[in-house]
Structure 1
Amino acid sequence: MRRDGAGWVKVVSVILNIFAVMTAFFGVYLGFREATQGIVMNILRRKMPAEKIKENLVQRGIMIFAILLAWSAIVLNAPVLSFTSICSPIFGMVGCLIPAWLVYKVPALHKYKGASLYLIIITGLLLCVSPFLAFS
């Protein structure tokens, strides 16, 4: 057995990698779950009184849906990086163009007009056209 600590470093690096993957997964999972729950609860509150909605059932349904979605992506060996290109118009609209539009429409946000806003608009437009550039 070597006494330079290389074995210890290998074990710690494997443990660190496992926790890094778990942390990334749970971060994405919790964000997805919260966003989905907010959307579903908003839709349900429009259709029925809030007292009739069983939040526990909604939470479990979303949890099962998220797990099945992650499992199916693994089973189907879905190319995750191509999802980024496919979903980039959504990122461009929600993250760049809608906030830029709000800066022009909401008087309290007019103070944010400037050169940086044009950069955000250009970035949003590039994100919206990127699927056409990536798959052509």
Structure 2
Amino acid sequence: MNKVIQVSALLLLATFIACSRHTQIATIKSPVAGVFYTVETYEGQGAIDNDYTRVYLHMERSGQSDKALVLSGTYVTVSKIIWINSAENVIFMENGGFTSTFQNQVTLRAGGVTETFHAYLQESRATPKAQ
């Protein structure tokens, strides 16, 4: 009986890992060299939710890199990223979905440099027209 449980657990884990491959990765460069976001979209492949998105912030300095998860959720579509004054401040325009993770402040360290970035989330759904 114990072997059956172990085999079942391994099959479930293998299914989850096989289903977690991203469908699309978009790279959005900032106005500052070495700072960029990647938007990873997984469509119709999740074990629990069919479609989900993860947005990572990356920083590269002196041959080293660091990254952090900034935004994730099911059925989330990031329609636009707006840079405010510099690479340290950004607005994510989101077209609905269910946000499960959002960090409005992230500190990255790479190549002896430490930088803090701020993000803001704004829904960009169209409003219904008045009749």
With normalisation by structure 1, the TM-score equals 0.28
Structure number with higher strand proportion: 2
Higher relative contact order (CA 8 A, sep 6+): 1
Which entry has the higher C-alpha Rg, 1 or 2? 1
Structure number with higher helix proportion: 1
With normalisation by structure 2, the TM-score equals 0.29
